[in-house]
Structure 1
Amino acid sequence: MNTVELAPHRIAGLLAPAADRVFRAGMLAGRDGGGAVLAQKYGGIAATGFLVDLRTRLAAPGGKVDGPGFAAVTRYQDPVACRRALDKQVAYGMLHRGTDGTLSASERGAAFLAELYQVHADVTEELWAGHDERVSRMVAALGRLLSYALVLVDEEGDAGGSAFTAMAPPYEPDGTPSGVLLLNRLGTLRYHRADAHAAAWAAAGHTAASVAALPPGPERTAIELETNRRAAGPYAALGAEERLTLLADLAALPG
């Protein structure tokens, strides 16, 4: 076996597009499979948008996302537009916003999130039907990755402004179906890579706006390689064969 290809930094790069594809397929299925109708029931996207984005934290009893964490989650969006959207969702009674900018779900927002979890349960069961063993295997592997990532963050110290620490661990009430576990664990792991990417482009002297406009070429390639290096830590929790199995399982899922 060519273990060079299975090194943590290499797998971090290979898994990223596969994880993106599967996660986006699940979220799209959720939107088309009842999520859009559910949002309308609660006032539409203007009322529910950030609840969907922050669902795995705000669905938890007492779950909160602080101001720096929210800024990290939305680092590629216009902060003025984000504030206006938040104002609307607070006005709709879906979110509470503390004087320090900390966000939490209102009672109505929590009810929306409980229904959204059910929508995601239904659509992922259909989307990934016939892949039960594969899904269960990925859920277990991702659980180990996220647990180790949290240990690493704790050891390094969190100075704030991390999307991953704002969103991890995902809320997983007893009885959460495997499809929802997979969807939400993938989403949370993507935030770990997003932080690594932000650290890489910041070290290269970029801003969120300038890196988004950066064309393909040596500079972008260097940032991606540095992202892989920074995102590699959690993959030490898996053996080389387990890393390859995770990649193969993601590639085999429809969506």
Structure 2
Amino acid sequence: MSDGVELPPHRFAGLLAPAVERVFVAGMLAGRDGGGAELGQRYGGQAATGFLVEFRTRLAAPGGTVTAAGFAAVTRYRDPAVCQRALDKQVAHGMIHRRADGAFSVTERGAAFLAEIYQVHAEVTEELWAGHDDRVRRLVETLGRLLAYALVALEEDDAAGAGEAFRVMAPPYEPDGVPPGVLLLNRLGALRYHRADAHAAAWTAAGHTAASVSALPDGPERLAIEQETDRRAAAPFGALTADERLTMLADLAALPG
């Protein structure tokens, strides 16, 4: 198979994004419906737990901290004032501790919630992807390579603000004994933010803001931004052969959700 003709990295980046999104969202929805929502209510509901779930793979790590810059990057399409008020509520619920510089980490109570969330995700992903053990293991291995490649590339990028969302979400926290379904879910989640940063860089280069690009209709300008996003997101996929790229797409397509 010809790597340059059949499926070059930039084309693969565009095909992979919706496949990653579908499987990741399916896993997260299964977690919500399979006990996550009930668990959240025990700790105070959405007002107490929202950002803990979103940033779980950073905050669950011992000493895990979300920087102010990382938080802003992940929430770049949301109203900053609304996000800060939501954080205020989670501080008030005793779930997170916020530092003077805007960074935050979990309290003991928040850490207990996250440990339970990991268990919920273990149970629901085992059920959701039952019978697909080989595919899940193959995807986990491939995603591990991609994330490692992307993290090394990020460390070599001296541009201010480069990769801020990915920087705070990767590598995901993976304690000993975490089952393959959780590894897959969280590694997919981290990879999503690699593309999110590439997209932000593309629309920034085109003169847009988060608000203006969100309002941009379908057409040549949006298409150009998406193509530039594919180009910027493509680098890690050069670590895979063309056959490995096709296998990754096929494995994602075969997973229920």
Q: Which bin holds the TM-score, normalised by the shorter protein? A: over 0.9
Partner of 2:251: 249
Distance 2:200 2:90 in 1: 27
Contact preservation (8 Å) 1:67, 1:100: yes
Partner of 1:227: 229
Instruction: Output one character per residue of 1:71-127: Cα deviation in whole Å (capped at 9) or x when no partner.
Output: 001001111100000000001000110000011011000000000000000000000
Structure 1 position 115 matched with structure 2 position 129: no
Distance 1:168 1:157 in 2: 18
Instruction: Output one character per residue of 1:5-43: Cα deviation in whole Å (capped at 9) or x when no partner.
Output: 311111111000000000000000000000000000000
Post-superposition offset of 1:236:
1.2
Post-superposition offset of 1:167:
1.0
Partner of 1:13: 14
Post-superposition offset of 1:240:
1.1
Distance 2:160 2:167 in 1: 10
Post-superposition offset of 1:220:
0.4
Post-superposition offset of 1:221:
0.3
Alignment of 1:1-255 (within 5 A): 1=1, 3=3, 4-157=5-158, 159-160=160-161, 162-255=164-257
Contact preservation (8 Å) 1:69, 1:160: no
Distance 1:56 1:237 in 2: 24
Answer with 231-240 or 117-126: which moved more. Answer: 231-240
Distance 1:5 1:77 in 2: 38
Post-superposition offset of 1:2:
5.0
Post-superposition offset of 1:160:
3.5
Report the AA paired with residue 99 of structure 1: A
Contact preservation (8 Å) 1:95, 1:103: yes
Contact preservation (8 Å) 2:6, 2:242: no
Distance 2:255 2:178 in 1: 20
Distance 2:230 2:86 in 1: 33
Q: CA RMSD in A?
A: 0.9
TM-score calculated relative to the size of structure 1: 0.98
Distance 1:107 1:141 in 2: 34
Q: State the percentage of identical aligned residues.
A: 76
Post-superposition offset of 1:157:
2.7
- Unpaired segments ≥5 residues, structure 2: none
Report the AA paired with residue 226 of structure 1: E
Post-superposition offset of 1:156:
1.2
Secondary structure of 2:97 counterpart? strand
Report the AA paired with residue 136 of structure 1: R
Contact preservation (8 Å) 2:129, 2:256: yes
Distance 1:158 1:39 in 2: 38
Contact preservation (8 Å) 1:196, 1:227: yes
Report the AA paired with residue 229 of structure 1: R
Distance 2:168 2:159 in 1: 10
Report the AA paired with residue 20 of structure 1: E
Distance 1:28 1:37 in 2: 13
Report the AA paired with residue 216 of structure 2: L
Secondary structure of 1:104 counterpart? strand
Post-superposition offset of 1:190:
0.2
- Unpaired segments ≥5 residues, structure 1: none
